[in-house]
Structures are given as structure tokens and as C-alpha cells.
């Protein structure tokens, strides 16, 4: 697609600003009614989905030129997709998230990259990871584990750790615990180690489409060569890239599960049993890429039709990503199954969850904005009375951990795999 393909949407946008808020019938308090971190930080309409439609139209029609300020208004956004969910409540036929991504693709293609994003992209192209680390060290997190190397022996399951779990020393224990859980359940699992590549999803959301395609080709080729049937990942960004972006971009279907979905399935089949008590009050943060953006990709190749020159219809009907069918049940099922765990819900959950702040290149390019977004979520989590904020994505966890340091929050930040490992007696040392 191209930016021009979103012209009709941009013209249809009524500038109602509904995309700033969680849908009004889901508001539980004025304090936690906001939905869009970007406009909360930027304090101006351009820093919202509706505002970016105006920007796109203005650029397409040559009424604006790309200044530093305009570029910031486009990239200072988490690409969390809350606006997309809220907009569809009143304008079900619009795709603001896809339009904003296309606007980024256009700016990057025209050479208007963010200078602060360049080192990350350089690392992705040369070292195949987003953390500016040597590719040769990617498998180091698993060096003490007895796990199949997919380069030398086949396995039914490929465990994809992702960049953050591979290189972030504070979080690598989650990947190691994941392997122990999968092996305990008797699954035939292997890893690609140093041959694993970044999923490309974060670069895609930062405006770099070609980098996603290159990374997809590398991963798909490696899985095919290893005879893998299923890819399992504990990273929500990787999950989203494999499940939602790879099929349309690469033309290849991959069977993908998030680690938390697999744990829930193995529990329901009796292949895992939680035997240890974990007395703790927790609240669960729905990662954007596992929740509202975690809906499966539905192919559509139709036409937009104008009826009486005004109303719009799609032939055949176009799939609608409302966010309602993301992965919400399995994490909650897992938490409720752990003896001693009490789950306390925040006000904004499921498809209406407030973002962690790390997405869309914001963690790399606008750290202060990333921190503000996380502080807002920590405040909401603390209001539940929970001892710990639990998530299912290393990028959420990294940003939340950083934010607890800067805010002095008393909350522990944990991955759901850590809690499951604790209940199974399989938790790896931090």
C-alpha cells in the first residue's frame, strides 16, 4: 500500500478526537480515561491519530514540508493502536494505525529518518538485532542449558527468544525458564542460537518496511531448513511480527504461539501442573502486540465502493481488526491457576490497555516520553493494591523496570513465565 491509499480515510476522519480516549462506556474514572500517550505528551492535536491524518493530507497535497517538528509529531507515537480500537467504535471502516505506519514508511523513504534511530537500524542491518550487540553472541543466554541446536538437529518447536531476551542480562532468565518449562512438558524444542535473527517487527513499526522483509526471509528460511512445525516466543513484539505482519508481507504462513498461550494449553491438557504456592497480589498488563494487535491476520483483496457518492462499502466485506480477539484469556487463565496468586485488574485492560511506552521506536528515540508513558501505567497498577506488575513482553518489562527506578515505585515487575516457572519449581536464577 501507499500513503495515497489512505486519502479516503484521511478525508473521512471527522476530527472527533475519540481516538484520544478509551471508549466512553469503558471509562471507570476520570483519572484513567485517557488512551493516547502521544497526545498526552505532545499536548497538541498533531500528536494523535486524527492529527496525523491531517498531516498526511497536508503532505500529500504539498501544503506542508517536512520540518523537525513535523517529523517528531509523526514518530513520537508508541504505535500502540489504542486509537485504532477507539476510532472503530464510531468509525468502524477506518484504519488509523495502518495509516500512521504508512506515513512513517513515506517519511523514511524520502530520507526523513530520525537521527537518533539510525544506530539501532545500523545494528539491525549488520548484526540482525535491535540492541547494538554482536550477532555472534545472540545464543549466549542458553549457554548452560541442554537444548537442541536447530543448526545441527531438527525439532518440532523452535523457541525464538527475540532480541531483548537474547541480550538483556536482567531478563535472560525468562528465556531460560521458558526452555525448562517446555522441556518439562516433554516438547521437542530447539533454538537457532546465534543464527536467530530479529523478527523485524519493531523496525517495521518505526517505518522501515524493507528491514522487516529481510528479517522475515532470514527467519522463515531458517525454520524451513530446520523442519520446524511451530514457533514459540515469549516476546509479544516477535509474536505480532510473525503472526500478523509476516503473512501479508512475505506471502508465507507460519504457525506461531506465544509462550503464555502454550503454557495455558499445556496446563489444560494436564502436561504441566502448578505444585508450588506463590503468595502474591498481581495485576496484569496486556502488551499491545499480544492484546489488541495480536489478532490473527485475515487476508482481504477487495474494492472500496462509494454508495451515492458518500457512504462507503467494501466488496467483499473487509475484515475489521477491533482488538477484541487478541490474546487476553490465556495469561489470565495462567495467573488464576497459580496457587496463592490473586489477580487484581487495572481500569484499562484488554483492548483498552494503556501502553507500556516502549513501542514504535519510542524506547530508542524518545526515552523521556517512554518513561512518562510507563509512569502512568505504574500509577494505575499501584492503584489496584497489587505487589507486582506482570506482563508477557520483554520490552514492556524493560521499560517498566526503568520506570520503577526513576519513579521510586514499590512494584515488582515480572514476566508471567517467571511466575509460572516459580509455581512449577523451574524458575531460573535472575
Residues engaged in binding ligand SF4 (CB under 6 A): 13-19, 35-38, 48-50, 53, 77-83, 86-87, 91, 94, 96-97, 355
Q: With respect to ligand SF4, which residue has the nearer C-beta, 174 or 370? A: 370
Rounded CA gap, 180 and 21, in Å? 41
Smallest distance, Å, CB 290 to ligand SF4?
A: 15
Q: With respect to ligand SF4, which residue has the nearer C-beta, 288 or 334? A: 288
Smallest distance, Å, CB 309 to ligand SF4?
A: 20
User: 307 burial class (0-12, 13-18, 19+ CB within 10 angstroms)?
Assistant: exposed
Angle, helices 68-75 vs 96-109, to 10°: value is: 140
Smallest distance, Å, CB 145 to ligand SF4?
A: 37
Q: With respect to ligand SF4, which residue has the nearer C-beta, 11 or 152? A: 11
Q: Please report the sign of the dihedral spanned by the C-alpha atoms of residue 387, residue 164, residue 299, residue 96.
A: positive
CB atoms within 10 A of CB 262: 22
Q: With respect to ligand SF4, which residue has the nearer C-beta, 38 or 123? A: 38
**Cα 358 versus chain centre, distance:** 9
Which residue minimizes CB distance to ligand SF4? 50
User: 33 burial class (0-12, 13-18, 19+ CB within 10 angstroms)?
Assistant: middle
Smallest distance, Å, CB 110 to ligand SF4?
A: 21
- Please compute, for residue 318, the number of CA atoms within 13 A of its CA located in the half-sphere on the CB side: 15
Q: With respect to ligand SF4, which residue has the nearer C-beta, 49 or 220? A: 49
Nearest by Cα to 206 from 359, 98, 99: 359
Q: With respect to ligand SF4, which residue has the nearer C-beta, 49 or 358? A: 49
Smallest distance, Å, CB 366 to ligand SF4?
A: 11
Rounded CA gap, 148 and 142, in Å? 10
Smallest distance, Å, CB 200 to ligand SF4?
A: 19
Amino acid at each position: 500500500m501507499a500513503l495515497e491509499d489512505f486519502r479516503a480515510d484521511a478525508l473521512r476522519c471527522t476530527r472527533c478526537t475519540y481516538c484520544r480516549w478509551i471508549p466512553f462506556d469503558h471509562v471507570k474514572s476520570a483519572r484513567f480515561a485517557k488512551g493516547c500517550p502521544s497526545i498526552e505528551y505532545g499536548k497538541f492535536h498533531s500528536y494523535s491519530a486524527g492529527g496525523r491524518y491531517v498531516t498526511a493530507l497536508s503532505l500529500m497535497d504539498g501544503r506542508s514540508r517536512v520540518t523537525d517538528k513535523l517529523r517528531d509529531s509523526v514518530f513520537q507515537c508508541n504505535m500502540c493502536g489504542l486509537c485504532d480500537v477507539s476510532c472503530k467504535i464510531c468509525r468502524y471502516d477506518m484504519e488509523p494505525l495502518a495509516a500512521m505506519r504508512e506515513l512513517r514508511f513515506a517519511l523514511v523513504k524520502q530520507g526523513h529518518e530520525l537521527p537518533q534511530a539510525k544506530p539501532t537500524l545500523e545494528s539491525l542491518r549488520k548484526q540482525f538485532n535491535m540492541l547494538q550487540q554482536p550477532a555472534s553472541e545472540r545464543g549466549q543466554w542458553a549457554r548452560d542449558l541442554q537444548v537442541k541446536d536447530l543448526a545441527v538437529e531438527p525439532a518440532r518447536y523452535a523457541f525464538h527468544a527475540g532480541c531483548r531476551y537474547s541480550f538483556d542480562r536482567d531478563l535472560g532468565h525468562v528465556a531460560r525458564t521458558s526452555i525448562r518449562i517446555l522441556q518439562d512438558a516433554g516438547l521437542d524444542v530447539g533454538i537457532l542460537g546465534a543464527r536467530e535473527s530479529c523478527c523485524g517487527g519493531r523496525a517495521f513499526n518505526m517505518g522501515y518496511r524493507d528491514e522487516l522483509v529481510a528479517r522475515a526471509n532470514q527467519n522463515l528460511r531458517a525454520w524451513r531448513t530446520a523442519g520446524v512445525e511451530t514457533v514459540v516466543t515469549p516476546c509479544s513484539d516477535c509474536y505480532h511480527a510473525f503472526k500478523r505482519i509476516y503473512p501479508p508481507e512475505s506471502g508465507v504462513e507460519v504457525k506461531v504461539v506465544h509462550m503464555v498461550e502454550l503454557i495455558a494449553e499445556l496446563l489444560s491438557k494436564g502436561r504441566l501442573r502448578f505444585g508450588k504456592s506463590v503468595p502474591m497480589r498481581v495485576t496484569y498488563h496486556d502488551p499491545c502486540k499480544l492484546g489488541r494487535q495480536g489478532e490473527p491476520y485475515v487476508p482481504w483483496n477487495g474494492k472500496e465502493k462509494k454508495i451515492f457518492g458518500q457512504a462507503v462499502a467494501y466488496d467483499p466485506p473487509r475484515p475489521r481488526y477491533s482488538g477484541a480477539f487478541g490474546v487476553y484469556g490465556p495469561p489470565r487463565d495462567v495467573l488464576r491457576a497459580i496457587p496463592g496468586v490473586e489477580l487484581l485488574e487495572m481500569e484499562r485492560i484488554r483492548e483498552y490497555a494503556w501502553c507500556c511506552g516502549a513501542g514504535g521506536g519510542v524506547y530508542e528515540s524518545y526515552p523521556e516520553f517512554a518513561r512518562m508513558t510507563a509512569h502512568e501505567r505504574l500509577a494505575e497498577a499501584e492503584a489496584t493494591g497489587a505487589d507486582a506488575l506482570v506482563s508477557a513482553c520483554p520490552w514492556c518489562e524493560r521499560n517498566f523496570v526503568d520506570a520503577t527506578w526513576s519513579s521510586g515505585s514499590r512494584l515488582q515487575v515480572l514476566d508471567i513465565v517467571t511466575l509460572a516457572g516459580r509455581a512449577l519449581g523451574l524458575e531460573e536464577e535472575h
